[in-house]
Chain A
């Protein structure tokens, strides 16, 4: 573990922000280009995880453990969100026989 943590010593904070922004942008693009509801959910998970990573990086940067506690809460919240969301998707599939989100536009009426 000592050698592993030595590796991190010289990474600029900018590179962490850049990495997390790129993955967040990939998540946004995934939400926009896919029509499968489950894949859209996975893109949301990707965005949540990039924010988690950035919070941890800032926490290490500032030497403050609060950021990691926040990441823990975000993970608990993501678990709850996934459980309810997938239940909703299963219910939608049972009613419409499809998980294409374009089918759902008749929710308007």
Chain B
């Protein structure tokens, strides 16, 4: 039980570091750590399929993509002009107001039953695969079209235009 609170603390700590680190590379590395804590959360909930997908897709693919983009973009100069302190204060107050609203709504709900895993097979690959390929077959195929079009769009956007046209 205390594992959850420790990991939750680490998640919040690293995600604060993500938005407050000055160097964008450090920010990405802290994001890797944050996603690793999320993977541990999934394992704690016995959602093994999601844990593996989160580990491979987020920590493997997406963050490597971020790092490569940052390498392509030359940030060697201390480039980022900081926002003024007034804007930062207003932003923090805005985020805090959002959080207060959510927490107040949560107080009104009064739901606090414990999360209990009734069916230990719930998050396993076998169970999720059956659901995915029976009830959600059409959205699955549509998401493959989405990925294909995103790939074509990314290639189209990122290639240099020929100078002659």
Tell me if A's interface is mostly helix, strand, loop or mixed. Answer: helix
Total count of chain B residues near the partner, CB < 8 A: 88
**Residues of B with C-beta under 8 A to A8:** 1, 4, 44-46, 115, 117
Q: Is the beta-carbon distance between A5 and B131 smaller than 8 angstroms?
A: no
Q: Is the beta-carbon distance between B82 and A35 smaller than 8 angstroms?
A: yes
**Residues of B with C-beta under 8 A to A43:** 18-19
A5 CA to B157 CA, complexed, in Å? 45
**Residues of A with C-beta under 8 A to B119:** 63
Q: Does A80 contact B (CB under 8 A)?
A: yes
Residues of B within 8 A of A (CB): 1, 3-5, 8, 11-12, 15-16, 18-19, 24, 27-28, 31, 34-35, 38, 41-47, 49-50, 53-54, 57-58, 61-62, 65-66, 69-70, 72-73, 79-83, 87-88, 90-92, 94-96, 98-99, 102-103, 106, 111-120, 122-123, 127-128, 131-132, 135-136, 139, 143, 146-147, 149-151, 153-155, 157-158, 160
Residues of A within 8 A of B (CB): 1, 4-5, 7-19, 21-30, 32-36, 38-39, 41-43, 45-46, 49, 52-53, 56-57, 59-61, 63, 65-66, 68-69, 71-73, 75-84, 86-91, 93-94, 98-100, 102
